[in-house]
Structure 1
Amino acid sequence: MKRPGNGNAWWTSPQPLWLIAAIFAWLLVTAWVRPLMAPDEGRYAGVALSMLHSGDWLVPRLDGLPFFHKPPLFYWIGAAAMSVTGPVEWAARLPSILGAGAAASALFLFLRRWSTVRQALLSTMVLVTTPFFFLGAQFANLDMLVAGCISATVLLAAAAALARERAEPWRALLAGAYLFAAAGLLAKGLIGVVLPVGVLLIWCVVTRRAAVLRLSVWLPGWAILLAVAGPWFVAMQMKYPEFFDYFVITQHFRRFASSGFNNEHGIWFYLPVLAAFTLPWFAWFAWALVPRRKDEDARPRLSDVDWLMWIWLAVIVVFFSLPRSKLVGYVLPALPPLAYLIAKHVLAGRSMEALWPKARAMTLAAATLCVACVAAIAIYAVPHGTRLRLPEGQAVAAGDQVLMLDNYFYEVPFYWNLHQTVLISDDWKAAVTDTRDNWRKEVVDAARFEPERAARTLVDRTQLAATLCVPRTTWLVGPSNAQIAHPWLARAQLVSAHQSVAAWRFAGSATSDAHCLDVAAASTPAPSSSSSAPLPANGTATNGDD
């Protein structure tokens, strides 16, 4: 690669295919190094793996029950990847990597045509080495996938509008925008369409492109959107009459307007998030905004692309700041325009010879920070359940059952590569009336769509004996101190433990003795190997998986 000072070859002769390939390679580079994080990564990877194992590619299922918090695109991509690779982390994260790659590629191609080559390259470089973007690309949840769809929709539609004004080919660009809008709808619901439409409508009004508004009712585009996204929603409504009320009314409107959900924050929340998680680039951006001369009051007039990026950034931040419940990943669609604005202010008034050494050093520092963040998460922030493994030589046999005690450990089905539904023991009568936003609510909500299947999956605590006292092996997963609430675990063999999570093997009862869990019987543990000793109160075990 030549330096810009020697002919400016890198900046004036871009190779888009090579650059796009490099983007995806960079985003994949550390996607395999850390276990899945619970609950989010374990949940979404588990639903995708369940789709693969069940062969039902239509209905997303959480522990065998319909899971309609979000549409199926993430699960389709993840299941397809794992059908080739098996349950490995990078395949579970592939939907997010594809979303990030789509956002970065669309930003580069759009700016390469409608701005300058160096603006396109620097903006893309800023974006893919921003720690927030890099980590979002390697986190297995729906936020980055929909962010990529939103970004591609906005940029393709804006490119179509600009091309139409200049009498250039625009229909293929607009068809692509509608296609990505359909993908956004299938990725995370209505925001995949509502947010791009909001950005583009405001942009058209501000830049006085009233005629371009007609592109929003382009009939071939709507045909594409309905043909791609419509069938799944129609199929779910026909199969489950309560689908529309739950998916659209509850998960979109009630969730947006109501309190009582997790992660409530003030309206200011995303401002420090964006400033902190986009370092070191944001620091350079802030420094570039400081006037260098007292007479530097006049600022250049905003171009059409500048207006698009400012409006895009503002719409995303304002929209997600309004509801009380806020998650960091919601604001990921704001990163492409922010990357453009950072690069724009960094480039302002600077020659390439002066800029290149600083840009190279900043890119190296940002990339190093990205990798360091992944390493820190892998070492310090990985939940205990993801480290829970069965000892070598032990596996869940086809006829065995798996039961989770008083919790649902999302990541266990993924790491144990379970093909069957897991039983979950809890006080389900109380769980039905629990309005807190937690794993119980997710399971109870899913159970309402198929109550008969739920009756076979959700085991009330009072029915444990009927489930376990059978001539069948049961693998139990629960808190490491579960023996306090379940003294009968003294009869089970501890097979694995990692800090707060443990797994046991329970042989059942060859005679179907209904009293096999009685405390009196449990006080005399059945003979077994040394690994069957009950877990101490402090939650440690000499044979645990560390």
Structure 2
Amino acid sequence: MNKTTFSISRGSWFLLAALWLLLLCLAVVRPLAVPDEGRYAEVGRWMLQSGDWLVPRLNGIPFFHKPPLLHWLQASSMAVFGQYTWAARLVPALNAGLMMVALCVCAQQFSGEATARRAIVMLGTSLTFLAGGQYVNHDMLVATWIGIAIWLFGLSFLHGDQAHLGLARWGFVACALGVLSKGLIGLVLPGLVIFVWLIWSGQARKMWRFPWASGLLIFAVIAVPWFVLAQQQFAGLFDYLFGAQQFNRYTGSNFNNPQAWWFYGLAVLLLLGPWLFFILPEVGSARQVNPAVDPRVFSLMWIWVLAIAVFFSIPSSKLVGYILPIMPPLALLAAWGWERAMARIRYAQLIWRGLVALSLGGAVVINFMIEDFTRERFTIDIAPTLTCLKQTGDALYVVGGYPYDLPFLIQADKPMIVVQDWPKVRKTAGDNWRRELFEGADFDAVAGQALQTPDVLGPASQQHGNWLVAPRKHETLSDLQGWTLVKAGEGWSLYRSAPEGSTPVIHCPKP
């Protein structure tokens, strides 16, 4: 493969645009899922509102679980389009679109336009794209940049007797953006896949003529500055971000979502749907359909899938979104498998259309079902009332939980006062919202004043201009004594302070 061309036909562009527009339509109609979407959308909104583009903050408190690329892009999106849910979702949607474009370009390079279109339809009608592509968290960003890095490094080594230097350097750019998206896996996983593949395919000698010096310099210029600046301002950042949040999460067993080693087998079936079954034919058989495909490309796809799947199967803690980086090669393998299995089937086109409809329909239905999974955590039914009644300078207290979506929905201009028995919580909290708040407060004592103990609620209930939000299940707690119920939502209730009649009567329009 001595010539690399990057082009997409008009028909393929039309197909990509149609799938992406469907993704955008789905992104508009669904409320923020909590906790993830409420958390990350609010971090981006707060960054824009505060003007502090160095430090990601949750409720005004430093939030160093992940690097800041998602938050930078979300703040930029909301600066242009407004502080709306769909503006926050535009960031993962753009990255999902980029993932699809990269798959289309590379699949066409390896196998031709027909295979490329089949692969992008398989990926574009799946939950990977239509749900994961508009879900506000870091997973789609890092999956996209890991994939682009592997494509670029792979094309570089397939170029000829020695690596294509330009493609390799762009691969380092992609790794840097992957690191800024979610940490070290943005570099480790492309490196793991390419190293194993080069050894397996007998190309290890090419590594000696790789642009290591210039590539790593490019990587450092892009990826390193934020970490250095943040560490200078917040001592201990490296230990927390790389130690506690990455290494310890990978090796530890006391974090959320422990799952069996086979968890990602089910996750892939969910994410790719019926197209997964066309991967079952052996790759060697697929070469009989398209003998022009370089055998090294087949081995790269399988090593890409297996290396990353094994990597994420080792930790106890597992989430569906972690496995997104393997979806592009799976889509290409499925396209090859279809060509082998269906080449002589009489009704192949009819079956194809039926499976496209099935995959699309399933993805759309599940997209709407996401709302039901977290409905009791929503504050969307009390947020309009609070937005209408709350005056500038009023304080908002929260007890019994943390309403992740509320600050974003009410466009809060100052942190909520989160009430817990924090001395006790520090000794007993697991991997939950309490820990992410008090660990962040350890970096900034002033911001940490937003974390208060229950003794503040009594006096606050007797002062004008205070509001309290509590889960419905806490309605009988002593914490709520002295507060007046204003609005009972499905999951949360809204209260106000001061005796009855001391607050001006404001009639809010019905939502």
Q: Same fold (TM over 0.5)?
A: yes
Cα distance, 1:176 vs structure 2: 2.1
Give the 5 Å matches for 1:108-257.
Answer: 108-165=104-161, 170-214=164-208, 218-257=212-251
Structure 1 position 377 matched with structure 2 position 370: yes
Relative to 1, partners in 2 of residues 1:110 and 1:301: Cα closer, same or farther, differing over 3 Å? closer
Q: 1:385-427, CA deviations, whole angstroms, 9 ceiling, x for partnerless residues? A: 2423233982432211111112211100011111111110110
Partner residue of 1:497 out of 477, 488, 501: 488
Alpha-carbon contact 2:169-2:211 (below 8 Å) kept: no
Alpha-carbon contact 1:35-1:386 (below 8 Å) kept: no
Alpha-carbon contact 1:111-1:119 (below 8 Å) kept: yes
Query: Which residue pairs with 1:77 in the alignment?
Result: 73
Cα distance, 1:482 vs structure 2: 3.0
Structure 1 position 86 matched with structure 2 position 82: yes
Alpha-carbon contact 2:36-2:136 (below 8 Å) kept: yes
Alpha-carbon contact 2:142-2:181 (below 8 Å) kept: yes
Alpha-carbon contact 2:261-2:314 (below 8 Å) kept: yes
Partners in 2 of 1:404 and 1:81 — Cα distance? 29
Cα distance, 1:488 vs structure 2: 4.8
Cα distance, 1:86 vs structure 2: 2.4
Give the 5 Å matches for 1:376-455.
Answer: 376-378=369-371, 381-388=374-381, 389-391=383-385, 394-454=388-448
Q: 1:351-370, CA deviations, whole angstroms, 9 ceiling, x for partnerless residues? A: 69864443233222212221
Query: Which residue pairs with 1:368 in the alignment?
Result: 361
Partners in 1 of 2:325 and 2:489 — Cα distance? 37
Alpha-carbon contact 1:498-1:544 (below 8 Å) kept: no
* 1:25 aligned counterpart, secondary structure: helix
Structure 1 position 460 matched with structure 2 position 456: no
* 1:30 aligned counterpart, secondary structure: helix
Q: 1:38-84, CA deviations, whole angstroms, 9 ceiling, x for partnerless residues? A: 11111111111111111101100011111000000111111111122
Query: Which residue pairs with 1:309 in the alignment?
Result: 301
Cα distance, 1:34 vs structure 2: 0.8
Relative to 1, partners in 2 of residues 1:236 and 1:361: Cα closer, same or farther, differing over 3 Å? same
Query: Which residue pairs with 1:9 in the alignment?
Result: none
Structure 1 position 340 matched with structure 2 position 336: no
Partners in 1 of 2:175 and 2:344 — Cα distance? 38
* 1:279 aligned counterpart, secondary structure: helix
Relative to 1, partners in 2 of residues 1:284 and 1:199: Cα closer, same or farther, differing over 3 Å? closer
* 1:437 aligned counterpart, secondary structure: coil
Partners in 2 of 1:375 and 1:479 — Cα distance? 24
AA aligned to 2:494 is A
Structure 1 position 484 matched with structure 2 position 476: yes
Structure 1 position 323 matched with structure 2 position 297: no
Alpha-carbon contact 2:62-2:441 (below 8 Å) kept: yes
Partners in 1 of 2:429 and 2:386 — Cα distance? 41
Query: Which residue pairs with 2:3 in the alignment?
Result: none
Task: For structure 1, list consecutive stretches of 5 or more residues without a partner in the other structure.
Answer: 1-11, 508-524, 533-542
Relative to 1, partners in 2 of residues 1:46 and 1:225: Cα closer, same or farther, differing over 3 Å? same
Alpha-carbon contact 1:44-1:140 (below 8 Å) kept: yes
Query: Which residue pairs with 2:4 in the alignment?
Result: none
Query: Which residue pairs with 1:54 in the alignment?
Result: 50
AA aligned to 1:110 is C
AA aligned to 1:210 is A
Cα distance, 1:291 vs structure 2: 13
- TM superposition score normalised by structure 2: 0.89
Query: Which residue pairs with 2:38 in the alignment?
Result: 42
Partners in 1 of 2:108 and 2:322 — Cα distance? 27
Q: 1:303-338, CA deviations, whole angstroms, 9 ceiling, x for partnerless residues? A: 111111100000111001000011111111111111
Cα distance, 1:16 vs structure 2: 5.2
Partners in 2 of 1:545 and 1:39 — Cα distance? 26
* 1:436 aligned counterpart, secondary structure: coil
Give 1 or 2: higher helix fraction. 2
Partners in 2 of 1:386 and 1:347 — Cα distance? 48
Partners in 1 of 2:423 and 2:282 — Cα distance? 58
Relative to 1, partners in 2 of residues 1:235 and 1:352: Cα closer, same or farther, differing over 3 Å? farther
Partners in 1 of 2:243 and 2:432 — Cα distance? 19
Relative to 1, partners in 2 of residues 1:393 and 1:253: Cα closer, same or farther, differing over 3 Å? closer
Partners in 1 of 2:373 and 2:425 — Cα distance? 32
Cα distance, 1:505 vs structure 2: 2.0
Relative to 1, partners in 2 of residues 1:392 and 1:262: Cα closer, same or farther, differing over 3 Å? closer
Alpha-carbon contact 1:81-1:91 (below 8 Å) kept: yes
Alpha-carbon contact 2:16-2:120 (below 8 Å) kept: no
Structure 1 position 26 matched with structure 2 position 19: no
Q: 1:196-255, CA deviations, whole angstroms, 9 ceiling, x for partnerless residues? A: 100011111111111332466522221221111111000011111110110111111111
Alpha-carbon contact 1:403-1:477 (below 8 Å) kept: yes
Partners in 2 of 1:209 and 1:362 — Cα distance? 39
Larger Rg: 1
* 1:476 aligned counterpart, secondary structure: strand
Partners in 2 of 1:181 and 1:17 — Cα distance? 26
Alpha-carbon contact 1:33-1:378 (below 8 Å) kept: no
Partner residue of 1:526 out of 484, 500, 506: 500
Cα distance, 1:266 vs structure 2: 1.2
Alpha-carbon contact 2:39-2:405 (below 8 Å) kept: yes
* 1:407 aligned counterpart, secondary structure: coil
Query: Which residue pairs with 1:520 in the alignment?
Result: none
AA aligned to 1:446 is G
Partners in 2 of 1:14 and 1:314 — Cα distance? 34
Cα distance, 1:486 vs structure 2: 2.8
Bigger shift: residues 429-438 or 317-326: 429-438
Partners in 2 of 1:393 and 1:250 — Cα distance? 37
Bigger shift: residues 358-367 or 110-119: 358-367
Cα distance, 1:134 vs structure 2: 2.1
AA aligned to 2:32 is L
Percent of aligned pairs with the same residue?
Answer: 34
Partners in 2 of 1:133 and 1:20 — Cα distance? 11
Alpha-carbon contact 1:87-1:415 (below 8 Å) kept: no
* 1:59 aligned counterpart, secondary structure: coil
Q: 1:277-315, CA deviations, whole angstroms, 9 ceiling, x for partnerless residues? A: 3222124445x56999xxx9xx99981111111000001
